[in-house]
Structure 1
Amino acid sequence: MRTVVYLVIGVFFGIVLFKSEAASWFRIYEMFQFGSFHMYGIIGSAVGLGIVIVQFIKRYKVRSFFGDKIVILSKEKSFYRYMIGGIIFGLGWALAGACPGPMFVLLGAGYLPIVIVIIASILGTFLYGLFRDKLPH
């Protein structure tokens, strides 16, 4: 049953991303050229809403739809890791024209060349998993 709920939420999220043009290569290009506020508004709204929801969950010990306790762990803070990871993520986003969420939205919308990007991202994630322990903190 959980899988069906997650699938429905994912499909709804994909429709929202597609209809808001957050998965549009042209909107992403405009963002990286500082030509439009559209994507910054979407990202800023998501970050703001995320902060409010996380704080709400922590303060009121909210449980999931299924009654499970939600645990939000603190992350290890490291400027170097986040800078390098952010640069790699940003370069991939700029080159592919999509970040991980919209990649699957584009696939669902019928843009088949995105399969190459999805395969490359899965390969990159796999390689990170192999070398994670060897990377500097």
Structure 2
Amino acid sequence: MNFIHAYRINILGLLMGVLFGFLMSRAGATTFDFHAKMFLFEDFQLMKVIGTAVVIAIVGVFIMKKLHINAIATGTEVDFVKKPYQQGLIAGAFLFGVGWAMTAACPGTIPAMIAEGKIGAVFSLIGLLLGTFAYGILQSFIANNGSYKAALK
């Protein structure tokens, strides 16, 4: 892959990300009040947006599997490999939900919230980065049979 091709792919990714962030903002996914009302079952707008996204994703994955679509960046066929169940998925999902409810943000909405000038999203981003860092250290610690020195290399 040459430099021009990689550059073009990055620009395409940036434009898709900006479009995604704009659409999330317009749908209310970057607004605390919509999240609070959703979790309190007072307003279902955000649930409808999420449900619509899930249905579109299901249809899109079905079509991509049927038509054997190739990836734009690599040109190779898109592959959907089912991941095996891992210990800790339930606890991780619970922690993700608690963080989402507390911050009204998920990893996808944080950049859009920052772009809107919502300073609180910076703290969510810091928490996300620290949590990812802690997860990496913990996984390394477990993989190295509890050796702190090897985990922190």
TM superposition score normalised by structure 2: 0.81
Match of 2:81 in 1: 73
- 1:61-112 CA-to-partner distances (Å, cap 9, x unmatched) read 101234232122111125x533211110011011111111111111000112
1:120 is displaced (CA, Å) by 1.0
Provide structure 1 residue ranges, at least 5 long, that are not aligned to the other structure. none
Instruction: Give the root-mean-square deviation of aligned CA atoms.
Output: 1.6
Match of 2:112 in 1: 105
Which entry has the higher C-alpha Rg, 1 or 2? 2
Identity among equivalent positions (%) equals: 29
SS of alignment partner, residue 101 of structure 1: coil
CA change 1:117–1:5 in 2 (3 A) is same
Runs of 4+ in 1 over 6 A off after TM superposition: none
- 1:19-39 CA-to-partner distances (Å, cap 9, x unmatched) read 111111000000110111111
Q: Distance in 1 between matches of 2:20 and 2:51?
A: 17
Match of 2:70 in 1: 63
Q: Distance in 1 between matches of 2:58 and 2:50?
A: 12
Provide structure 2 residue ranges, at least 5 long, that are not aligned to the other structure. 1-7, 144-153
Q: Higher relative CO (CA 8 A, sep ≥ 6), structure 1 or 2?
A: 1
* Aligned residue pair count: 134
Q: Does the CA contact (< 8 Å) of 2:27 and 2:46 recur in 1?
A: no
